[in-house]
Amino acid sequence: MLNDLAMRYKNGDTKAFDDLYKKSLPIVRAAIFSYIKDPEDMKDLAQDVYLKLTTKIKDYESGSFENFIYTMAKNTAIDFLRKKKEEKIDDIDTISSSPDLNPCLKFAINHLDEDEKNIFLMKVLLNTSTKRLAKIFNLTPYDVNKIFKRAKLKLKKELTTL
């Protein structure tokens, strides 16, 4: 059914898009939901998928439209997460290079690896929750807490040696 609708749409039947949208939306939502839990972000990303579909339909070959649209939705969600992570890391870079930051703390932070540095600064200075950090870095909350604890221990060691 979806394959027929997709081929009709690909061949210029714009009326087929409405049915294709209605019948494939649960697949798109499921793909996005496995990565994104925020309802507003999910809604926006679903719209992005269908906007992309208007140009990507030319790449569709008859076969499994479900796989085609699912992959497109999954990649859209992953790109969204990647972009959010990069934005957060840019915020962290701004904070960690701030002249207002204590020079001793700056020195100690430079001894952390990137994940430790980002998680520590986001948790402490940006007050980001463990749950949110887990989403941003694609980790479990347990792993986020473990990295945070390791960062605190490293910082404590560095600061006591100064």
Tell me the pLDDT tens digit for each residue of 59-84: 888 778 899 999 999 999 988 887 77
Q: Which CATH class is domain 2-81?
A: mainly alpha
Q: How far apart are CA 22 and CA 119, in angstroms?
A: 40
Sequence spans of domains, the chain? 2-81, 97-160
CATH class of this structure's domain 97-160: mainly alpha
Confidence of residue 101 (pLDDT cuts 50, 70, 90): low
114-152 per-position pLDDT tens digit: 888 888 888 877 778 898 888 888 889 999 999 999 988
CA proximity to 35, closest of 18, 22, 49? 49
Mean pLDDT of the chain: 83
Rounded distance, CA 45 to CA 19, Å? 19
> CB under 8 Å, gap of 24 or more: what pairs does 113-118 form?
115/147, 116/147, 116/148, 116/150, 116/151, 116/154, 117/92, 117/151, 118/88, 118/89, 118/92
- Residues 15 and 1: their CA atoms lie apart, in Å, by 15
Mean pLDDT of the 21-42 span: 90
